[in-house]
Structure 1
Amino acid sequence: MKALAPGTVIFHRHRGYGVITAVNLLTGWVAARFGSESRTLDLNLSTDEVQFADGEAILFRRAPPDRMPHARLMAMVRELHRAGYQKLYLYSWPKPSGLHWRWHLFSGPRDWMQRSWREGWYGSGADYNVNPVMGWGDKPGASTHELIDALARFDPQGLAQALGRDEDHSAWFEQVCEALLPGYMYSLDMQRPEGGPLLDAPAVPVVPVRATLPPYSGPDIGWPPGWQGLWSKVHVLPARRPDFSGIPET
């Protein structure tokens, strides 16, 4: 299906041609303007039989979408590992509120605590709920290979840094993907007593990516290579880019 975004010209059998002004792909509702510049009409993509200007039907799946992109990212990273880009890593951890999980792709040296930050290589489920894309020019619901192509076009220099061998991590990641995909993701969340170090290494937390899935009941997931020495250290996240938007994080 073609990309659907504000500015897309559509056709409705009762209203004629119009232009989309707002899209919510999580719920399937769009706002469109037909003729009048001062008034918009809300349309449901599942029931209102909206079409593109060339007559192609706009179909919206009724099944609930993933509430976070981590499983799709895991599938993409696995394919890149198989293609020789084994120095590509996916770090995911919960926001302080516990309502959403962040994700961060990084390439080059495998340093879980001091990760390299590249524009567009990080995000969260909160952003994904409103606009289910990664931000690389990809389309909603893009396949694994389409995501790879979009990332390669968006930041070829960053992806080139992932070219190389890291057999320990790629073997661990392959096993994790076999156990979790397509419905679950891992969270590298080191819970510790207030102000103190972790005393042992529990299983990696596993989270369903759709609200309708039951809690994970499969085999325990071990921590990735290079993580063992971190249990006695204070978990300090790398410095983030300053945010002057004034919008509080959830």
Structure 2
Amino acid sequence: MKALAPGTVIFHRHRGYGVITSVNLLTGWIAARFGSESRTLDLNLSTDDVEFADGEAIRFRRAPPDRMPHARLMAMVRELHRAGYQKLYLYSWPKPSGLHWRWHLFTGPRDWMQRPWREGWYGSGADYNVNPVMGWGDTPGATTSELVDALARFDPQGLAQALGRDEDHAAWFAQVCDALLPSYMYSLDMPREPGAPLPEMPPVPVIAVRAGLPAYAGPVIAWPPGWTGLWSRPHVLPAPAMTITGEPDLVKGFQRS
């Protein structure tokens, strides 16, 4: 699959050779110049028979794309778990606006509270809508095996940190994929009513990855191993550093006695 981006030389049956100036891969429309620096023509990749300069047809998938990449990521993580990379974890949560969903793949020790400090890869649904790639050299619409291969080539050292066994999490993740894929994703967000405390065991939110799908009506999704109760534990600041000078420590405005 050739790259399709601004600057690509194309051929149109009525206009001849031209140069793409902008691409919208979400809708399949492009803008291109044909012999004029000041005027562009809008073309649809599904109906206008646009070709690359060497005559290869440019084909655009007519089916609506996923509006979020999480289901594709879940399928990729499941395959990596099967290959022995079980210390790979997928965390997803909504932006404050609720319009888009973020995701974070992280590796190493499974510690959900320490996730932001773990090595891994981030992404956002807002970016995906404009450019539907994960960001590690993959192409739009890449298959699960192609995503795995692209990630392994892009960051072999980072992926190597996911090599190891976490059978509890891998079994949980496989069950979740069987229940949700290919049309739904999970979120590890913990919603609550304004001003109310978090419930003891809130349900795991499930979201459709394409518009027009019915609300999820499958089995209840359990929280991943090591997650239960994290939101109800008290968060205690670490103790101030010890001193052997006999002088009191002042840490963030608190005096240690």
Q: What is the TM-score of this pair, normalised by structure 1?
A: 0.89
Matched ranges for 1:63-74 at <5 A: 63-74=63-74
Q: Deviations over 1:14-40 (max 9, x none)?
A: 111112121100011111122222222
Q: How big is the shift at 1:56? A: 1.6
Q: Report what 2:54 is aligned to.
A: 54
5+ unaligned residues in a row in structure 2: which ranges? 236-257
Q: How big is the shift at 1:198? A: 2.2
When residues 126 and 234 of structure 1 are mapped into structure 2, their CA distance, relative to the original with a 3 A threshold, is farther
Asked if 1 retains the 8 angstrom alpha-carbon contact of 2:200 and 2:229, the reply is: no
Q: Report what 1:207 is aligned to.
A: 207
* Aligned-pair Cα RMSD in Å: 1.7
Q: Report what 1:177 is aligned to.
A: 177
Q: Whole-Å Cα distance in 2 between the matches of residues 16 and 2 of structure 1?
A: 20
Q: How many pairs align?
A: 234
When residues 170 and 50 of structure 1 are mapped into structure 2, their CA distance, relative to the original with a 3 A threshold, is same
Q: Report what 1:77 is aligned to.
A: 77
Q: Report what 1:98 is aligned to.
A: 98
Q: Which has the larger radius of gyration?
A: 2
Asked if 1 retains the 8 angstrom alpha-carbon contact of 2:29 and 2:42, the reply is: yes
Q: Whole-Å Cα distance in 2 between the matches of residues 140 and 129 of structure 1?
A: 11
Asked if 1 retains the 8 angstrom alpha-carbon contact of 2:107 and 2:118, the reply is: no
Asked if 1 retains the 8 angstrom alpha-carbon contact of 2:136 and 2:150, the reply is: yes
Q: How big is the shift at 1:117? A: 5.2
- Quote the sequence identity (%): 85
Q: Whole-Å Cα distance in 2 between the matches of residues 151 and 199 of structure 1?
A: 38
Q: How big is the shift at 1:45? A: 0.6
Deviation >3 Å, runs of 4+? 116-119, 192-197
Q: Whole-Å Cα distance in 1 between the matches of residues 199 and 75 of structure 2?
A: 32
Q: How big is the shift at 1:3? A: 2.4
Q: Which segment is superposed worse, 38-47 or 90-99? A: 38-47
Q: Whole-Å Cα distance in 2 between the matches of residues 109 and 6 of structure 1?
A: 42
Paired residue secondary structure (1:18):
strand
Q: Report what 1:17 is aligned to.
A: 17
Asked if 2 retains the 8 angstrom alpha-carbon contact of 1:201 and 1:231, the reply is: no
Whether 1:41 and 2:41 are equivalent positions in the alignment is yes
Paired residue secondary structure (2:90):
strand
Asked if 2 retains the 8 angstrom alpha-carbon contact of 1:187 and 1:207, the reply is: yes
When residues 36 and 67 of structure 1 are mapped into structure 2, their CA distance, relative to the original with a 3 A threshold, is same
Q: How big is the shift at 1:73? A: 0.3
Q: Deviations over 1:65-105 (max 9, x none)?
A: 10000000000000000000000000001111111111110
Paired residue secondary structure (2:229):
helix
Q: Report what 1:247 is aligned to.
A: none
Q: Whole-Å Cα distance in 2 between the matches of residues 234 and 34 of structure 1?
A: 65
5+ unaligned residues in a row in structure 1: which ranges? 236-250
Q: Report what 1:165 is aligned to.
A: 165
Q: How big is the shift at 1:118? A: 4.7
When residues 37 and 105 of structure 1 are mapped into structure 2, their CA distance, relative to the original with a 3 A threshold, is same
Q: Which segment is superposed worse, 223-232 or 32-41? A: 32-41
Q: Report what 1:6 is aligned to.
A: 6
Q: Whole-Å Cα distance in 1 between the matches of residues 127 and 94 of structure 2?
A: 14
Q: How big is the shift at 1:229? A: 3.2
Q: What is the TM-score of this pair, normalised by structure 2?
A: 0.86
Whether 1:155 and 2:155 are equivalent positions in the alignment is yes
Q: How big is the shift at 1:124? A: 1.3
Q: How big is the shift at 1:42? A: 1.3
